[in-house]
Amino acid sequence: MLSFYQQLAAALQQDPVVVVTVVDAKGSVPREVGAMMLLCSDGSTIGTIGGGAGEASAIEQARQVLATGKKQLVKIDLSGTLERTKQGICGGKMHVWLERWQGNSAIALANEIVTLLQSGQSGFLVIPSAPERSPYLSTPHSPLPTPHSPTFILPLLPAPTLLIVGAGHVAVPLAQMAHLIDFRVVVQDDRPEFANQQRFPDAIVLAQSIDAAIATLNHAPPLYVALVTRGYQHDLAALKVLLPRSPHYIGMIGSEKRVKSVLQALQQDGIPSMEASLVAARLQTIYAPIGLDLGALTPAEIAVSICAELISVHRGGNGRSLSGRSLSTPELRVGNGAIARHYEQQSQ
């Protein structure tokens, strides 16, 4: 979301743009309510409302709005058949709002939204349908007014933060992929030769102790944590600081033996600021070993499995194959030996 509004602010510095927003959706559709796309004056687009015939139709209408400046509410029917190539076949219907943004007031609004999201705060983008009214930002300090005409209200939510504890070989592809799926990525490691901006160009890098790093995240939006440290003691140190703060998600890499050892040590030693029963309850929420079982072996594959789990938790998915089929991996051969790995996921 932040990246979209940053690109909107940059595009408005050049020429007017049309903001295309999904404001209603029924049935099977490619994007959710609130999905947005820009049509720029040079004909290029930024973002997507789902691609295919539906998006092509929206772009065609957006060109008219770019030329006339007249707002439009457009219905996109995706319940067509294979023979009707100008109509999508997802099965649902969407309404999209098309509005031309231009001038200093639009630039100021886009920059306000960028500042809001960068600060970790939330708000609402209010889009009045009345021709004479322009979109505006509403925050907790400026309550939503009672609209006098049909109005679309879009929540503005900061990106969830992924704290990657440990800057080793798995952390590099994990940070890259988490950035692509719109997490605000923070990498912590007390080794500057590993925790540096060269290795993690798209992340906030904290080359300091876990205690100091966590202190900087006290006011972060929903916090997700991936423990991919270099050893047992680092997992323990991180969890002693993290558990009292109750992150939305904690995942820990490691063999079943390592995971079991860490959890047992925390139960036995306890955490001074927490009752034993609460420690036990929080330990039950840890995703360990981290990630979905994809049969991952390489650092990049492990990063994919972790990101798949992050998406599942963030979006409320179940991790099953969309085809409904059971999944299995073939026999894997390494060197002169053979690893027989059989992975089945029963659909329910």
Higher pLDDT, 332 or 295: 295
- Whether residue 332 is contained in a domain is answered as no
Is 215 inside a domain boundary? Answer: yes
| pLDDT: which is higher, 274 or 204 | 204
Q: Residues 91, 113: contact at Cβ < 8 Å?
A: no
Query: Coil, strand or helix: which one is 219?
Result: coil
Q: Is 243 helix (H, G, I), strand (E, B) or coil?
A: helix
Cα distances from 100 to residues 21, 60, 63, 68, in angstroms, run 11, 14, 10, 9
* Whole-Å CA distances, 131 to 12, 40, 46, 60, 345: 20, 21, 25, 21, 53
Same domain for 77 and 197, yes or no, is: no
Say yes or no to pLDDT of 81 above 80: no
Q: Which residue has the higher pLDDT, 93 or 148?
A: 93
Main-chain phi, psi angles of 122, to 5 degrees: -120, 165
Q: What is the pLDDT of residues 279-308, one digit of tens each?
A: 888 888 999 999 999 999 999 999 999 999
Residue 44 has pLDDT above 90, yes or no: yes
pLDDT in tens, 206-238: 999 999 998 888 666 689 999 999 988 999 999
Q: Are residues 194 and 310 in the same domain?
A: yes
Q: By mean pLDDT, which of 96-110, 117-131, 231-245, 327-341 is the weakest?
A: 327-341
Quote the pLDDT of residue 160. 93
Residue 82 above 80 pLDDT? no
Task: Write out pLDDT tens, residues 188-200.
Answer: 999 999 999 999 9
Q: What is the mean pLDDT of the chain?
A: 86
Q: Which residues are within 8 A (CB) of 40 and not within 5 positions of it... i.e. 6 or more apart?
A: 11, 14, 15, 17, 46
**Residue 45 shares a structural domain with residue 129:** yes
Residue 222 pLDDT: 86
Given a contact cutoff of 8 angstroms between Cβ atoms, the answer to whether 187 and 205 are in contact is yes
Distance of CA 312 to the CA centre of its chain: 11
Q: Are residues 152 and 260 in the same domain?
A: no
* 339 domain residue, yes or no: no
Mean pLDDT (whole number) for 118-134: 89
The answer as to whether 195 is a domain residue is: yes
Domain CATH for 166: 3.40.50.720
Q: Does residue 345 form part of some domain?
A: no
For residues 183 and 122, membership in a common domain is answered with no
Per-residue DSSP letter, 120: T
**pLDDT greater at residue 24 or residue 339:** 24
Is residue 348 included in any domain, yes or no?
no
Instruction: State whether 42 and 126 are in the same domain.
Output: yes
How many Å separate Cα 267 from the centre of its chain? 32
| Banded model confidence at residue 148, pLDDT cuts 50, 70, 90 | low
Place of tokens 């085809």: 323
Of 92, 122, 156, the residue that ends a domain is: 156
- Enter the pTM of the model: 0.81
Same domain, 51 and 152: yes
- Beta-ladder partners of 21: 36, 97
What is the DSSP annotation of 86-108? TS--SS-EEEEEEEEE-HHHHHH
Q: Which domain holds residue 269?
A: 161-315
* Counted domains in the chain: 2
Taking CA 128 as the corner, what is the angle to CA 104 and CA 73, rounded to the nearest 5 degrees? 105
Q: Say whether both 26 and 65 belong to one domain.
A: yes
H or E element, residue 77? strand 72-77
User: Is the pLDDT assigned to residue 157 strictly greater than 70?
Assistant: yes
Is 88 inside a domain boundary? Answer: yes
Say whether both 109 and 179 belong to one domain.
Answer: no
Lowest mean pLDDT among 57-71, 240-254, 287-301, 323-337: 323-337
As a whole number of angstroms, the distance between CA 150 and CA 128 comes to: 6
Residue 233 burial class via C-beta count within 10 angstroms: exposed 0-12, middle 13-18, buried 19 and up = exposed
- CA dist 303 and 307 (Å) reads 6
Looking at the domain assignment, is residue 341 inside a domain?
A: no
- Domain match, 151 and 6 both: yes
C-beta neighbour count of 344 within 10 angstroms: 9
**192 and 250 co-located in one domain:** yes
- Rounded CA separation 302/165 (Å): 15
Q: Please tell me whether residues 152 and 165 are part of one structural domain.
A: no
